[in-house]
Amino acid sequence: MMAAMRPRFMFVGDSMTIGSAGEHTWRYRMWQHLEASFGPGGYAVVGPRTALYDHEAGAPVSTAYADPAFPAQARAHLAGWGEGWLHMAPVVGEAVAAGRADVLLVSLGLIDLGFYTNSDQTARNVRAFVAAARAANPDVRAVLLPVIPNVRAEEEPPFAAECARFNGLLAAVAAELSTPRSPLVLADPPAGYDLRTDTYDGTHPGPSGEHKLAAAFAGALHRAWGWGGPYRPAHPRGAQKCTRRLSGVTR
The domain limits of the chain are 2-225
pLDDT digits (tens, 9 = 90+) for 138-148: 999 999 999 99
pLDDT band at 236 (very low <50, low <70, confident <90, very high): low
Closest CA to 85 of 114, 54, 45: 114
Distance CA 196, CA 193 (A): 9
Q: Which CATH topology does 2-225 take?
A: Rossmann fold (3.40.50)
Claim: this prediction has a pTM higher than 0.85 = yes
pLDDT of residue 251: 53
Query: In what helix (H) or strand (E) does residue 74 lie, and over which residues does it extend?
Result: none
Burial group, residue 39, by CB count within 10 angstroms (0-12, 13-18, 19+): exposed
pLDDT the model gives residue 5: 74
Q: Would you call 69 helix, strand, or coil by DSSP?
A: coil
Measured distance CA(186)–CA(146) in Å, rounded: 7
Q: What is the pLDDT of residues 1-58, one digit of tens each?
A: 344 479 999 999 999 999 999 999 999 999 999 999 999 999 999 999 999 999 999 9
Residue 92: closest CA among 58, 127, 119: 127
* Contact criterion met (CB below 8 Å) for 102 and 141: yes
Residue 239 has pLDDT above 60, yes or no: no
Closest by Cα among 190, 158, 204 to 19: 204
State percent of the chain over pLDDT 90.
90
Please list the residues that pair with 105 across neighbouring strands: 11, 143
- CA 152 centroid distance within chain: 19
